[in-house]
């Protein structure tokens, strides 16, 4: 139901096979003369005006894929200047927080996976994760949003303790090579003034009342009494000054002193509970990455409270099937496994706040997958309760992602966020920092959903707790230990299913750009539907309907999941940023 009956299976041509590295990459920015120098190293994967242009970047020394071309370029310049992948991704992340402030920034937090290449031929790589997720302030309690649920999304009470600056600094302290100030400086300059990009220009009018009538916002987004448009200059002068302080003083300049004073004051003015002790007591978590295998690959990703364990669970299930081609049966299996993944996700929470972590630890195991496998039926789908979700989990939103690799095979995959678009909509005018609304990712006690599932008590807010996240910054290696792929995405609850589908697309012979650009499916149990990009093959969608799926076809250009990835094949690096957010990767 809902599938157009007379529509072409593809709106746009897609690659069916990977390009050979020897194939000359074509220029495809006809009429865009200002991009010619860049595009000589790029190949568009689509040319139809219905889609934004997409590019496959080919490089020999390193590559960065972020959701904004400026930030990819900044990361690659760091590589050219002798920096490594960690340096590059730190610089790109600071940049993204400046220009795509609606998705991420230093007022938020995130997660990072880092691959340290072998130090000598007989050694193995080491893969670590950094958890710099926002935490609930010390005055938080489980019922704080029961009377006013909207206060978890808007205003000072929605603000969690930011972790991004400390997380980036910890990554630099452990693995960075260039001076910290070198990584922050490009964003200091950028914040002084740049042209509004298409993605920002699209979002400013969505919040016209905020931008025009709140002086904290209007001075930046409507400086002359009208909303800024694409191509006009935007300035975040106070943020530039704040970044200068962080460049000189590191995370201490953020978590103590005038910056801390200012953001705490602003959050409290807007009804929040953020305190100096919250900032002073914040800490990041560094662990060995969660490890799994998928066919002939090693998979490294982040631990709970992310959805990394769920991603591995889904790969553990799909590898049991012969998935040599994309057909109706295999795509049905893909969706069924996604639904079992979302059921498993209802068990995820901050492991520090439960008596036993068994319910989380088992999710990524082959043994747990074996208990699910027999329940995957090839002839039909099932109602949500069949997949045994334990609790109702709130849908999360937003985020930004970057992936990077350098000439030595060090790789990094980093997802950062302020949660909803423009976070809590609290902008501190003194520091220029937009504060997150990550508290909305916690569950709130209340009533069951329409299907009888109650909110997860494991994900209720508590002091110092990290909320559930759909992120899963991931790195794959070949079984011989060599680097293969760094991948991750943004888009809330669509993130890990989209990473899962990109990995499958690579197995179906697509290059990394085509694997990202290909249409996607999404079924998270509730609502009762498969949400399909309108470029997905219609014959397959019809097949899903025959197996009982309720298919809803949506515009591929809507705000949904966005994937950035870098990979290695035959000694060449390939990088791609998702055209769904007008991203362009870079390499050299």
What percent of the chain shows pLDDT beyond 70? 90
414, 566 contact by CB (below 8 A):
no
Helix (H, G, I), strand (E, B) or coil at 436: coil
Asked if the model's pLDDT at residue 239 lies above 50, the reply is yes
- Give residue for tokens 């590295």: 21
Q: How much is the pLDDT for 57?
A: 98
What confidence tens digit (pLDDT) does each residue in 30-49 have?
233 233 233 333 333 333 44
Q: Which stretch of DSSP H or E encloses residue 566? A: strand 562-569
469 in a labelled binding site? yes
286-293 contact pairs (CB < 8 A, 24+) = 286/128, 286/129, 286/130, 286/131, 286/170, 286/174, 287/128, 287/129, 287/131, 288/126, 288/127, 288/128, 288/129, 289/113, 289/127, 289/128, 289/129, 289/475, 290/129, 290/364, 291/127, 292/316, 292/364
Tell me the pLDDT band of 380, cut-offs 50, 70 and 90.
very high
What confidence tens digit (pLDDT) does each residue in 516-568 have?
999 999 999 999 999 999 999 999 999 999 999 999 999 998 878 999 999 99
Mean pLDDT in the chain?
A: 91
Dihedral (CA of 336, 344, 564, 152) sign: positive
Q: DSSP states of 453-520 as a string? A: PPBPGGGS--TTPPPP-----EEEEETTS-EEEEEEEESGGGHHHHHHHHHHHHHTT--HHHHHHS--
Asked if the model's pLDDT at residue 322 lies above 70, the reply is yes
Q: How much is the pLDDT for 241?
A: 99
Q: If we measure between CA atoms, which residue out of 176, 138, 85, 142 comes closest to residue 463? A: 138
Q: DSSP states of 286-329 as a string? A: EEEPEEEEETTEEEEEPPTTSSHHHHHHHHHHHTTS--SS--HH
49 in a labelled binding site? no
Evaluate whether the domain defined by 33-193+235-291+393-587 bears CATH number 3.40.47.10: no
Dihedral (CA of 48, 54, 56, 61) sign: positive
Helix (H, G, I), strand (E, B) or coil at 91: helix
Q: What number of helices (H) and strands (E) belong to the chain?
A: 19, 22
CA distance 402 to 412: 8
96 in a labelled binding site? no
What confidence tens digit (pLDDT) does each residue in 402-428 have?
999 999 999 999 999 999 999 999 999
CA distance 319 to 503: 11
What is the value of pTM for the model shown? 0.91
Q: How much is the pLDDT for 393?
A: 79
CA distance 451 to 217: 40
Q: How much is the pLDDT for 9?
A: 24
- Whole-angstrom CA distances from 468 to 307, 471, 484 are 8, 9, 28
583 in a labelled binding site? no
Dihedral (CA of 506, 508, 510, 516) sign: negative
Between strands 530-533 and 551-554, the pairing is parallel
Q: How crowded is residue 128: how many other Cβ atoms within 10 Å of its Cβ? A: 17
Q: How much is the pLDDT for 25?
A: 33
471, 499 contact by CB (below 8 A):
no
Asked if the model's pLDDT at residue 275 lies above 80, the reply is yes
What confidence tens digit (pLDDT) does each residue in 504-524 have?
999 999 999 999 999 999 999
* Inter-axis angle of helices 308-318 and 495-507, nearest 10: 30
> Tokens at residue 515, please?
């694997």
* Cis geometry, peptide bond prior to residue 181 (ω within 30 degrees of 0): no
Which active-site residues does the annotation give?
Answer: 399
Alpha carbon 162 to chain centroid distance? 17
CA distance 429 to 404: 33
Asked if the model's pLDDT at residue 283 lies above 50, the reply is yes
Alpha carbon 536 to chain centroid distance? 22
492 in a labelled binding site? yes
What are residue 473's phi and psi, to 5 degrees? Answer: -60, 125
Asked if the model's pLDDT at residue 158 lies above 60, the reply is yes
What are residue 569's phi and psi, to 5 degrees? Answer: -150, 125
Domain ranges of the chain: 33-193+235-291+393-587
Q: How much is the pLDDT for 167?
A: 99
Residues 6+ apart with CB under 8 A from 33: none
Q: If we measure between CA atoms, which residue out of 83, 55, 58 comes closest to residue 69? A: 55
Q: How much is the pLDDT for 581?
A: 95
CA distance 435 to 134: 11
192 in a labelled binding site? no
165 in a labelled binding site? no
Residues 6+ apart with CB under 8 A from 180: 169, 172, 247, 250
CA distance 560 to 494: 7
Q: How crowded is residue 147: how many other Cβ atoms within 10 Å of its Cβ? A: 7
CA distance 513 to 322: 24
226 in a labelled binding site? no
Tell me the pLDDT band of 293, cut-offs 50, 70 and 90.
very high
* Cis geometry, peptide bond prior to residue 108 (ω within 30 degrees of 0): no
Asked if the model's pLDDT at residue 359 lies above 50, the reply is yes
Tell me the pLDDT band of 450, cut-offs 50, 70 and 90.
low
Q: If we measure between CA atoms, which residue out of 222, 141, 134 comes closest to residue 418? A: 134
CA distance 182 to 160: 28
Segment 424-433 mean pLDDT? 99
What confidence tens digit (pLDDT) does each residue in 55-96 have?
999 999 999 999 999 999 999 999 999 999 999 999 999 999
CA distance 585 to 513: 10
Q: How much is the pLDDT for 447?
A: 63
Angle at 551 between CA 550 and CA 552, to 5 degrees: 125
């Amino acid at each position: 139901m809902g599938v157009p009956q007379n529509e072409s299976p593809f709106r746009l041509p897609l690659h069916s096979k990977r390009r050979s590295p020897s194939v000359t990459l074509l220029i495809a920015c006809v009429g865009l003369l200002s991009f010619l120098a860049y595009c000589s190293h790029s190949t568009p994967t689509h040319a139809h005006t219905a889609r934004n242009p997409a590019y496959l970047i080919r490089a020999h020394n390193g590559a960065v894929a972020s959701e904004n071309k400026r930030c990819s370029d900044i990361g690659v310049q760091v590589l050219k200047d002798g920096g490594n992948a960690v340096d590059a991704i730190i610089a790109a992340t600071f940049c993204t927080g400046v220009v795509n402030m609606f998705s991420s920034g230093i007022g938020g937090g995130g997660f990072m996976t880092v691959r340290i290449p072998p130090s000598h031929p007989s050694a193995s790589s080491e893969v670590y994760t950094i958890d710099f997720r926002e935490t609930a302030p010390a005055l938080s309690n489980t019922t704080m949003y029961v009377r006013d649920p909207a206060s978890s999304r808007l205003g000072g009470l929605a603000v969690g303790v930011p972790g991004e600056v400390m997380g980036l600094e910890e990554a630099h302290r452990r693995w960075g090579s260039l001076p910290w100030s070198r990584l922050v400086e490009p964003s200091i300059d950028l914040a002084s003034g740049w042209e509004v990009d298409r993605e920002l220009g699209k979002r400013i009018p969505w919040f016209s009342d905020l931008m025009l009538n709140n002086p904290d916002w209007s001075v930046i987004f409507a400086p002359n009494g009208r909303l800024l448009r694409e191509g006009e200059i935007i300035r975040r002068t106070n943020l530039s000054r704040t970044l200068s302080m962080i460049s000189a003083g590191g995370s201490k300049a953020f978590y103590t002193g005038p910056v801390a004073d200012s953001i705490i004051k602003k959050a409290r003015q807007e009804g929040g509970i953020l305190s100096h002790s919250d900032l002073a007591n914040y800490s990041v978590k560094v662990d060995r990455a969660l490890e799994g295998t998928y066919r002939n690959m090693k998979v490294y990703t982040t631990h709970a409270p992310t959805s990394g364990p769920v991603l591995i669970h889904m790969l553990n299930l799909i590898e049991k099937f012969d998935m040599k081609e994309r057909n109706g049966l295999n795509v049905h299996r893909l969706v069924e496994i996604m639904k079992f993944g979302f059921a498993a996700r209802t068990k995820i929470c901050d492991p520090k706040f439960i008596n036993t972590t068994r319910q989380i630890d088992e999710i990524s195991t082959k043994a747990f997958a074996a208990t699910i496998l027999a329940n995957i039926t090839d002839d039909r789908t099932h109602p949500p309760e069949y997949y045994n979700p334990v609790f109702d989990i709130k849908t999360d939103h937003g985020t930004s992602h970057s992936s990077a690799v350098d000439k030595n095979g060090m790789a990094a995959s980093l997802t950062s966020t302020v949660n909803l678009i423009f976070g809590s909509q609290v902008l501190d005018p003194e520091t220029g920092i937009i504060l997150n609304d990550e508290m909305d990712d916690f569950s709130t006690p209340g009533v069951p959903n329409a299907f009888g599932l109650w909110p997860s008590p494991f994900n209720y807010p508590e002091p110092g707790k990290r909320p559930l996240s759909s992120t899963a910054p991931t790195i794959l290696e070949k079984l011989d230990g060599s680097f293969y792929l760094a991948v991750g995405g943004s888009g809330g609850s669509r993130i890990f299913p989209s990473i899962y589908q990109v990995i499958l697309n690579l197995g179906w012979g697509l290059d990394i750009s085509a694997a990202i650009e290909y249409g996607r499916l999404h079924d998270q149990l509730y609502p009762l539907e498969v949400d399909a990009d309108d470029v997905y093959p219609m014959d397959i969608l019809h097949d899903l309907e025959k197996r009982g799926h309720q298919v809803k076809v949506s515009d591929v250009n809507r705000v949904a999941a966005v994937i950035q990835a870098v990979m290695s094949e035959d000694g060449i690096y390939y990088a791609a940023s998702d055209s769904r957010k007008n991203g362009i990767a870079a390499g050299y």
